[in-house]
């Protein structure tokens, strides 16, 4: 019985074990396009070095974004708790429910957010931190466009650019 999800491209001979060496693995690298020729060892090494640089760059962008976001959220939370002494006890009459109910106040527009931060509210600063976190995948796609251009891979750069445009467009469509 054939599996409905399984592609017709696969047959038992093709399902051979793929225990390959690093040398053959580098041939999998490279760019989009018709008529792939095998790269010379020098070209393959240069390409691998380029891709490694791109991966390190993307990794760095993510680490900075994630660390910054956690830092801002922690600062915001600390300010929030320092402003309200009744939040910080382990026992007491003030329930967290009052902060997560339908009448709880927190910023939900860019103008409200700016006002909240300007008046030194901890919750506004927390939202800024969350915004930085939300921006990291978008930033990652943007870095992807640049890195595919750097690898001279125009088809993949166009693919990534399309995703970036849809992402940014979705924010405008949301009306934030």
- Tell me the C-alpha distance between 15 and 86, whole Å: 63
Instruction: Select the residue interacting with other proteins from 14, 37, 38, 42 (CB under 8 A).
Output: 14
CB nearer to other proteins: pick between 41 and 154? 154
> Sign of dihedral through CA atoms 152, 154, 156, 160?
positive
Touching other proteins, residues 107-126 (CB under 8 A): 108-109, 122-124, 126
Collect all residues with Cβ–Cβ distance below 8 Å to 109 and sequence separation of at least 6: 176
State yes or no: residue 16 binds other proteins (CB under 8 A).
yes
Q: Helical H runs in 31-153? A: 41-83, 110-118, 122-150
Question: Is position 85 an interface residue for other proteins (rule: CB under 8 A)?
Answer: no
User: Does position 47 bind other proteins by CB under 8 A?
Assistant: no
**Which one, 41 or 78, has the nearer CB to other proteins?**
78
Is 59 an interacting residue with respect to other proteins (CB under 8 A)?
yes
């Amino acid at each position: 019985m054939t599996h409905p999800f399984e592609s017709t491209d696969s047959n038992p001979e093709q399902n051979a074990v793929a225990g390959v060496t690093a040398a053959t693995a580098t041939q999998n690298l490279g760019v989009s396009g018709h008529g792939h020729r095998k790269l010379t060892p020098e070209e393959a090494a240069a390409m691998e070095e380029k891709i490694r640089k791109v991966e390190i760059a993307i990794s760095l962008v993510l680490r900075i974004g994630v660390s910054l976001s956690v830092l801002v959220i922690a600062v915001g939370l600390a300010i929030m708790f320092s402003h309200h002494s009744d939040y910080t006890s382990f026992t007491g009459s003030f329930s967290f429910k009052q902060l997560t109910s339908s009448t709880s106040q927190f910023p939900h527009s860019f103008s409200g957010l700016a006002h909240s931060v300007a008046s030194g509210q901890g919750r506004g600063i927390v939202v800024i931190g969350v915004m930085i976190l939300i921006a990291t995948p978008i930033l990652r796609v943007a870095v992807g466009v640049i890195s595919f251009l750097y690898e001279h891979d125009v088809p993949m750069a166009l693919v990534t650019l399309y995703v970036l445009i849809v992402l940014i467009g979705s924010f405008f469509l949301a009306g934030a």
